[in-house]
């Protein structure tokens, strides 16, 4: 695998790139202006030349994903497939032609669809689809709706026995197994009917998100459950 180098005069951008590379546990080198480099290079759009990978502050994850793929020599795939283990902090895994090329545990589901679309732009592909595990029904259906609204080919998968593995990475292991399984195609958005238990769980999550400062109302919890607002928006309104 070719090593990844980072070189930019933009200190803020550099910090964000390094933070994401460390999060992804990538082997990388910080380069100065005069350093020669024949590996993969991430830099700013203004400083990019030839095959360099440009990064902007709002899409650093995408640039790092492209760098990882370039380092592996992966430029294209016929089938790009994602697996999602639903939950307040969903697990996500992605495969190119059946080979696992990445995984992550997201902090919330608010930007899950954007995250998947961003990753998909890093690999040229002929077909893309997402498998969603059938656990956590309320969150599962919210995720399915987000994917369908964004025009993504979506399948629901029976996730029985997918959570095998270390406890700390259970959601990621489950997402990988979900991505590898067959499922039932979902074509239409689903009506969301949160139960009292669903609303209480969202209220509990609001206390965690706000560091114990507040608990959102039942009405705000209902809006979060139905995908009308994000948790951050609900906390701001509260």
117 domain-assigned: yes
178 in the same domain as 225: no
- Per DSSP, the three-state class of 169 is helix
* Domain count for the chain: 3
- How many C-beta neighbours within 10 Å does residue 208 have? 10
* 37 within a domain of the structure (yes/no): yes
Q: Do both 84 and 66 map to the same domain?
A: no
Q: Residue 227 domain-assigned?
A: yes
Same domain? For 173 and 124 the reply is yes
**Are both 100 and 115 inside the same structural domain?**
yes
Q: What is the pLDDT of residue 204?
A: 93
- Answer with the one of 71, 96, 125 that is the final residue of a domain: 71
Same domain, 156 and 177: yes
97 and 181 share one domain: yes
Residues 99 and 53 in one domain: no
Asked whether residue 84 falls in the same domain as residue 174, the answer is: yes
Give tens-digit pLDDT for 175-200.
999 999 999 999 999 999 899 999 99
pLDDT less than 50: residues of the chain: 165-168
Question: Which residues, listed in sequence order, are joined to residue 172 by a DSSP beta bridge?
Answer: none
Identify whether residues 17 and 88 lie together within a single domain.
no
Q: Is residue 162 one of the residues assigned to a domain?
A: yes
Q: Tell me, what's the pLDDT at 166? A: 46
- Please identify, among 49, 71, 93, the residue that sits at the C-terminal boundary of a domain: 71
pLDDT in tens, 5-40: 999 999 999 999 999 999 888 999 999 988 999 999
pLDDT at residue 169 in the model: 67
Choosing from 71, 106, 130, the residue where a domain stops is 71
> Which residue range forms the structural domain that includes residue 154?
76-186
- Shared domain check, 164 and 103: yes
Quote the pLDDT of residue 24: 84
Same-domain pairing of 112 and 26 = no
Are residue 47 and residue 81 in the same domain, yes or no?
A: no
Distance, CA of 18 to CA of 140 (rounded, Å): 33
Q: Note the Cα 122 to chain centre separation in Å.
A: 13
Confirm whether 191 is domain-assigned: no
Q: Where are the alpha helices (DSSP H) in the chain?
A: 11-23, 60-71, 112-120, 137-149, 170-180, 196-209, 218-225, 231-237
Residue 227: the pLDDT is 84
The one-character DSSP state at 60 is H
Residue 64, domain member (yes or no): yes
Pairing of strands 124-133, 153-157: parallel
Instruction: Note the pLDDT of residue 151.
Output: 94
């Amino acid at each position: 695998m070719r090593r990844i180098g980072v070189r930019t005069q933009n200190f803020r951008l550099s910090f964000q790139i390094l933070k994401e590379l460390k999060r992804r546990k990538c082997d990388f080198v910080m380069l100065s202006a005069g350093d020669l480099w024949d590996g993969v290079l991430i830099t700013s759009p203004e400083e990019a030349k030839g095959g360099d990978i440009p990064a902007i502050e709002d899409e650093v994850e995408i640039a790092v994903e492209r760098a990882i793929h370039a380092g592996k020599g992966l430029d294209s795939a016929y089938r790009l497939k994602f697996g999602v283990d639903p939950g307040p902090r969903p697990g996500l895994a992605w495969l190119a032609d059946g080979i696992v090329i990445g995984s992550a545990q997201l902090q919330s589901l608010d930007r899950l669809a954007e995250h998947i679309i961003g990753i998909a732009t890093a690999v040229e592909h002929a077909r893309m689809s997402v498998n969603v595990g059938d656990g956590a029904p309320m969150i599962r259906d919210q995720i399915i709706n987000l994917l369908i609204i964004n025009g993504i080919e979506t399948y629901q998968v029976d996730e029985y026995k997918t959570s095998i593995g270390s406890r700390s990475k259970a959601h990621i292991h489950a997402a990988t197994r979900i991505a590898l399984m067959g499922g039932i195609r979902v074509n239409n958005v689903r009506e969301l009917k949160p139960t009292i238990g669903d609303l209480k769980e969202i209220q509990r999550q609001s206390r965690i998100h706000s560091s114990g400062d507040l608990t959102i109302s039942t009405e705000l919890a209902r809006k979060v459950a139905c995908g009308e607002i994000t948790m951050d928006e609900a906390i701001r309104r509260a």
